[in-house]
Structure 1
Amino acid sequence: MELDNLKPKTVKVLNLILKSATANPEIRDILPIEHIFAREVYFYETVLPTYNQLLEEHNQQKLTSFPDMLGYDLSIPEFLIMTDMKSQGYVMRPDRAEPLDFNHVKMVLKEYGRFHGLYYALKALKPKLCKEISANMSEAFYNKMADDNPLLNSCMDVANDRVMKSFHNDERDAEAMDKFEKYAKCAKLRLRDDLKDGAAGRFEVINHGDGWVNNMLFKYDNEELINLCLLDFQLSRLSSPALELSYFIYTCTDQVFRDEYFELSLKYYHESMKNTLEVFSLDLSDFLTSEELNNQMQKFSTFGLFMTIEVLHLMLSDTAEIPDYEVMMEKDGLEDTLAAFSYESKNEDLYRKRIRSVVLDFVQRGYL
């Protein structure tokens, strides 16, 4: 066999991420795993290509702040194959507990403004297609859980108890504590109401749904922030933009930031949405005025409070402190696993400081 004339093979390296579900039946009994994996596939197969086609038809650049889905299987255990954006220079924030500064918040809100604005554009320009997609974007997680779901109930009880321990013994905190106690008693009902179909009426948009810092990658050039990549669309849904904004802002910033930049952040988001619609010769005032955005924040921001209470504790805990709930379910069963949710972090004082400031801010703004 002659080998001299053989050409060297070209080697192509693919950097991929495999995102897989648990097959544990006990976990699948209490979490709607199949629904959230199907939702993410629908987002990448239908929603994102539809937005990009709309942009192309108007000679606009496609959305770039998302990884590509290269394959999937929705049989148990479900999995998705995604491009590894870290191979393209994107990185996760080195310290998830560190609040984002205004440059990072602006970049996220610019992308959310564009992303949300594209729903309004689709609604105006291709109403039939928009209606078809909207029918498949109902809440796929929380509203799939029964009222007696032990995981949801345990998480809410533990989280609300943590919040109550954060208040000071003074007049200002007494008002906040009273308002929070009243909220906590109906928190599950408020959650379901905020997420039910049509809750936001004509102001609804498709949300990213899970906008905390670990679901965002950033790209830098000599320490200058130049790009963003959004991850994890399992909780994407059709709902008020206020769900997205309140979750992101309250989870990923601190009170120093909010005191200075909260109103400016909403204005920046609204301006991004306005610029997006102008590309299609559409006027944002026909969809969401700044006044109505504030109304949406007043009506729906308690979703952001619910998520911040849960997620912020996770963000501020060291990785080694967080129990491996899947392993615990396999080894110890449901009861012991639920008990583990009440773990106390060495950063508990920081959590109490941050979450107290969130509740006080909600009271001050009239959101609670």
Structure 2
Amino acid sequence: MAPEEITDQLPVPSSHRMLQELVRAELNTDEFTLDISAGSNKGDNYSCIIYRGRATCRRTGKQVSVIVKIPPQNEIRRKQFFVRPSFEREISVYNEIFPLIMEFQRSKGLTVEDSFHQVPHYLGSSLVDHEEVLLMRDLKEEGFRMVDRHKDMSLEHYQLMMRALARLHATSFVLKDQQPEKMERFKGMPDLLGLPDTSPTMASIFSQMAARAMTLLNENNEPDVFQRTKKILTMSWDEIMDDVYNGKPAEPFAVIGHGDSWHNNLLYKYEDDTAIDIRLLDWQCCRYTSPVVDLMYFIFIASSKAFRDRHYEHLLDFYHRNLSDHIRRLGSDPERLFPRTALDQQLLRFGRAGLIMAAICLPIIAT
């Protein structure tokens, strides 16, 4: 569907019925029109199709806009992009993880502004096979928009993201400290990219992309860089899953992370052309791992080398300062739970995650 094309039906009847019921409750009437259009641009999404459902009350003119996320119906594409486990993971995040995090922050008396809250407003979902759907409030109506993934963002964009990740990670540290029983079930959360149905595909993709990345290096000009890079990019995918993304080697510092922090999964709000707020979308790859995995993924996928040369250390300092502040707000001691020395150690141990995902993602982003 082209972005400007408008219809009155979603391609999955059960999803359309859910949307109608939701709109009917929101508008408190059966007298409405419902227009369906593309919710994103072509090429912005891979494992799902995004629609925008805009309902208008015939009597009052009041409008409700809902984002509807459904899977591709083509079986090959469903398998290629791990559709079923992706929807299972994201819906579990909205139904289980976010309620735990939000309620915990409220129990500490925190306002929304002082909490981790940078996620879409969840309206409902279904996990019926081949009829999976996720419905959310339309963030475009609140002034949020996507950035151009081919350009460096301003420093404010990166700081908003680092603050959001800091608060998200801080909730894991404090929950493990104060209510460890509530975090136990998430510690065993399998990594989406390491599941039996997805790992062989990822192994093939990684080997191809890693070989391609190595052709960009000159062994004669940079022998040390070449050898160190080769050592990482010749790891098997199973080794990467066990050694880099697995939460166990990162303990006691493993956290619930976003897992897929690149441009197309971030929406920003602006005031006088300055980014002032952010929302994190697409939680299919949410994982329990080192906080460094999120940091390196975002920094190395969403910035240029020139930007990192200027701001890399600042962003790490900014992240840790905000994480420490949020840990204190939640009633624990950041120097005990995650001192800066621990962050530095985690960077040394798991920082290669940035190189691994850059090898996979940058060619896709560039095309």
TM-score normalised by length of structure 2: 0.78
Distance 1:28 1:163 in 2: 27
Computed over aligned residues only, the root mean square deviation of the Cα atoms, in angstroms, reads 2.0
- In structure 2, the CA distance between the partners of 1:280 and 1:153, relative to structure 1 (3 Å rule), is closer
Per the TM alignment, residue 9 of structure 1 is displaced from its structure 2 partner at its CA by 3.5
Q: 1:140 aligns to what? A: 192
Distance 1:11 1:297 in 2: 53
Q: 2:318 aligns to what? A: 268
Match 1:236 to one of 276, 279, 286: 286
- In the alignment, structure 1 residue 89 sits paired with structure 2 residue 139: no
**Which one-letter code corresponds to 1:250 in the other structure?**
F
Per the TM alignment, residue 64 of structure 1 is displaced from its structure 2 partner at its CA by 3.1
Distance 2:141 2:152 in 1: 25
Distance 1:300 1:133 in 2: 20
CA contact (8 A) 1:31 1:145 kept: no
Task: For 1:15-164, list aligned pairs within 5 A.
Answer: 15-29=65-79, 31-62=81-112, 63-77=116-130, 78-93=132-147, 95-135=148-188, 137-145=189-197, 149=200, 151-164=201-214
Task: For 1:167-182, list aligned pairs within 5 A.
Answer: 167-168=217-218, 170-172=220-222, 174-182=223-231
Distance 1:132 1:202 in 2: 16
Q: 1:189 aligns to what? A: 238
- In structure 2, the CA distance between the partners of 1:160 and 1:52, relative to structure 1 (3 Å rule), is same
Unpaired stretches in structure 2, ≥5 consecutive residues: 1-57
Per the TM alignment, residue 187 of structure 1 is displaced from its structure 2 partner at its CA by 4.1
Per the TM alignment, residue 306 of structure 1 is displaced from its structure 2 partner at its CA by 1.5
Q: 2:269 aligns to what? A: 219
Per the TM alignment, residue 68 of structure 1 is displaced from its structure 2 partner at its CA by 1.6
Distance 2:247 2:343 in 1: 19
Q: Which has the higher contact order (CA 8 A, sep 6+)?
A: 1
Unpaired stretches in structure 1, ≥5 consecutive residues: 1-7, 318-368
**Which one-letter code corresponds to 2:342 in the other structure?**
E
Per the TM alignment, residue 260 of structure 1 is displaced from its structure 2 partner at its CA by 2.1
Distance 1:128 1:83 in 2: 32
CA contact (8 A) 2:119 2:280 kept: yes
- In structure 2, the CA distance between the partners of 1:42 and 1:146, relative to structure 1 (3 Å rule), is closer
Higher strand share: 2
Distance 2:236 2:354 in 1: 12
Provide, for residues 254-278 of structure 1, a one-character-per-residue CA deviation record: whole Å limited to 9, x for no partner: 1122222212211110111100011
Provide, for residues 131-153 of structure 1, a one-character-per-residue CA deviation record: whole Å limited to 9, x for no partner: 23434x33123334466x2x324
TM-score normalised by length of structure 1: 0.78
- Runs of 4+ in structure 1 over 6 Å off: none
Distance 1:100 1:190 in 2: 33
CA contact (8 A) 1:35 1:141 kept: no
Provide, for residues 18-68 of structure 1, a one-character-per-residue CA deviation record: whole Å limited to 9, x for no partner: 111134334445554222211111111111111111111111123431102
- In the alignment, structure 1 residue 248 sits paired with structure 2 residue 302: no
Distance 1:153 1:141 in 2: 9
- In structure 2, the CA distance between the partners of 1:224 and 1:187, relative to structure 1 (3 Å rule), is same
Q: 1:301 aligns to what? A: 351
Distance 2:155 2:220 in 1: 32
Higher helix share: 1
**Which one-letter code corresponds to 1:59 in the other structure?**
G
Distance 2:77 2:275 in 1: 39
CA contact (8 A) 2:119 2:281 kept: yes
The alignment of Structure 1 onto Structure 2 pairs a total of residues equal to 305
Provide, for residues 220-263 of structure 1, a one-character-per-residue CA deviation record: whole Å limited to 9, x for no partner: 01112110011000000110001101111111111122222212
Distance 2:204 2:191 in 1: 21
CA contact (8 A) 2:260 2:282 kept: yes
